[in-house]
């Protein structure tokens, strides 16, 4: 047995202990209870970490040279690391996932941008995008994506992993388990923020033309995924939040082909933080009904504050979860969400990007979220995400996890 196999087998054994533990089973139930609106207590999660600042004692240092095995090593090491230092209510699938190799032809254009990095080791950088969709003629370049499945490469990866540690942990091929449609995030990269916001007013028909085309492309993409049998009902994390639910799939995937009605849809329009509710509805929500609204359940929202837009968000069919950012009024959001939906709270990640964590301030922030949910009977998950830095102090995040987990446990 070579050294690479020895490393991966040791990691697979550690992963198995977590995946098949009683604690992992219990946390899966917590996730389902939240998403099915029968919450036992709030779920606490941590994601989107500044990994370049997190490597304690070489715990995250990779040794595998083969690109695919290196990815497998990272998945195992990062999962074990999170469980060791900041588990909160993370859940671990009881198998090693080998994602099916699915590619898209694209839609005929590529973004052009300038970037600015303040830390070359950190993948989070600032972006300035060139407007590549200025005219009607530019729209003629666009075409629906063509989806391809590389079964040969998928099987190669599956067999390679299976041969190394398939006797320790089950190895399973996984497909696409959610429909993600953030149309205006895409448009902001194609046009730039200022051009986009200005043209919503000055060239509204042109902007409707763009979003109509991208909506048609998303529908085409999922038509193809459905027809090719590439959708998957197994979903443990939905963009950093709890995904497990007893409400999906809506039919038996063993006897029926999986469709959008069996999986989560996730939508957002982060750039619309500064537009009015009526404009948000006209340019995004009405289109979301045609994409994520065809899914079995829907999670809407990311970094845009939605506390004064709950009434338009709930027009999306099958809405189940609504994001509440640090810039939203959580009390207003909780009052409007009530027992109808899951309140997916995103505390301020800047709290951990400091030399010394202010524990009192953190307790006030989380206490306000918990009080608002308790008062209004909301099911909720609390996710620390978008963490661009912890000032080189991973212990800030570890302390955040300890405090917030204790507060949620006492809910």
Q: What percentage of the chain carries pLDDT values higher than 90?
A: 92
Question: Is-contact 350 400, C-beta < 8 A?
Answer: no
Question: Can you tell me the mean pLDDT for 322-329?
Answer: 96
What confidence category does residue 254 fall into, taking pLDDT thresholds of 50, 70 and 90? confident
Rg (CA), the chain: 22
Phi, psi (degrees; rounded to nearest 5) at 320: -125, -30
Question: Can you tell me the mean pLDDT for 69-91?
Answer: 98
Burial of 37 (C-beta count, 10 Å sphere; 0-12/13-18/19+): middle
**Residue from 48, 47, 49, 43 nearest 89 by CA:** 43
Is 279's pLDDT higher than 70? yes
| CA–CA gap between residue 274 and residue 194 (Å, rounded) | 12
**Residue from 388, 398, 334, 322 nearest 362 by CA:** 398
Q: What is the pLDDT of residues 99-149, one digit of tens each?
A: 999 999 999 998 887 777 777 777 777 877 899 999 999 999 999 999 999
Is 328's pLDDT higher than 70? yes
Strand duo 237-238 + 241-242: pairing: antiparallel
Question: Is-contact 321 341, C-beta < 8 A?
Answer: yes
Helices (H), 166-227: 183-191, 193-202, 204-227
At 127 the pLDDT is 79
| CA–CA gap between residue 135 and residue 247 (Å, rounded) | 44
Q: Quickly count: other Cβ atoms within 10 Å of residue 139's Cβ.
A: 15
Q: How many CA atoms lie within 13 A of 77 on its CB side?
A: 20
User: Which residue is it, tokens 């987990």?
Assistant: 405
Torsion sign across C-alpha atoms 327, 125, 359, 380 = positive
Q: What is the pLDDT of residues 285-308, one digit of tens each?
A: 999 999 999 999 999 999 999 999
Question: Can you tell me the mean pLDDT for 358-379?
Answer: 98
User: Which residue is it, tokens 């996932």?
Assistant: 97
Question: Is-contact 323 344, C-beta < 8 A?
Answer: yes
pTM for the model stands at: 0.95
Q: What percentage of the chain carries pLDDT values higher than 70?
A: 100
At 1 the pLDDT is 59
Question: Can you tell me the mean pLDDT for 86-91?
Answer: 98
Is 382's pLDDT higher than 70? yes
Phi, psi (degrees; rounded to nearest 5) at 257: -65, 140
Question: Is-contact 148 159, C-beta < 8 A?
Answer: no
Domains of the chain: 3-409 (3.20.20.210)
Mean pLDDT of the chain: 95
| CA–CA gap between residue 282 and residue 207 (Å, rounded) | 11
At 250 the pLDDT is 84
Question: Can you tell me the mean pLDDT for 242-264?
Answer: 90
Question: Is-contact 366 407, C-beta < 8 A?
Answer: yes
| CA–CA gap between residue 116 and residue 114 (Å, rounded) | 7
Question: Can you tell me the mean pLDDT for 256-268?
Answer: 95
């Amino acid at each position: 047995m070579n050294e690479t196999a020895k490393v991966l087998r040791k990691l697979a054994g550690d992963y198995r202990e977590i995946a098949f533990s009683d604690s992992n089973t219990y946390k899966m139930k917590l996730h389902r209870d939240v998403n099915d609106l029968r919450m036992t207590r709030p779920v606490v999660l941590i994601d989107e970490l500044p990994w370049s600042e997190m490597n304690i004692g070489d715990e995250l240092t990779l040794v595998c040279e083969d690109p695919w095995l290196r990815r497998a090593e990272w998945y195992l090491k990062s999962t074990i690391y999170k469980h060791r230092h900041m588990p909160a209510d993370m859940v671990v699938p009881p198998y090693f996932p080998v994602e099916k190799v699915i590619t898209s032809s694209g839609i005929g254009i590529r973004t052009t941008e300038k970037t600015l990095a303040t830390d070359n080791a950190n993948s989070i950088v600032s972006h300035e995008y060139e407007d590549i969709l200025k005219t009607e003629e530019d729209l003629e370049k666009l075409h629906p994506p063509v989806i391809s499945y590389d079964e040969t490469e998928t099987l190669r990866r599956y067999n390679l992993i299976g041969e190394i540690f398939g006797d320790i942990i089950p190895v399973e091929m996984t497909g696409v388990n959610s429909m993600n449609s953030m149309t205006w995030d895409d448009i902001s990269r194609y046009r730039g923020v200022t051009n986009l916001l200005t043209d919503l007013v000055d060239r509204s028909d042109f902007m409707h033309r763009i979003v109509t085309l991208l909506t048609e492309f998303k529908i085409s993409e999922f038509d193809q995924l459905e027809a090719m049998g590439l959708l998957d009902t197994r979903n443990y994390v939905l963009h950093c939040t709890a995904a497990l639910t007893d409400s999906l799939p809506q039919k038996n995937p063993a006897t029926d082909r999986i469709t959008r009605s069996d999986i989560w849809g996730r939508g957002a329009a982060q750039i619309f933080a500064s537009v009015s509710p009526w404009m948000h509805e006209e340019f995004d929500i009405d289109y979301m009904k045609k994409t994520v609204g065809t899914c079995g359940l829907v999670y809407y929202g990311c970094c845009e504050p939605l506390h004064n837009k709950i009434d338009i968000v709930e027009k999306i069919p099958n809405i189940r979860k609504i994001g509440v950012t640090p810039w939203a009024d959580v009390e207003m959001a909780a009052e409007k969400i009530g027992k109808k939906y899951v309140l997916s709270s995103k505390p301020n990640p800047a709290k951990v990007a400091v030399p010394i964590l202010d524990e009192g301030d953190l307790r006030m922030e989380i206490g306000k979220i918990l009080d608002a949910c308790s008062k209004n009977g909301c099911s909720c998950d609390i996710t620390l995400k978008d963490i661009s830095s912890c000032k080189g102090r991973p212990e800030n995040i570890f302390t955040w996890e300890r405090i917030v987990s204790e507060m949620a446990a006492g809910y």
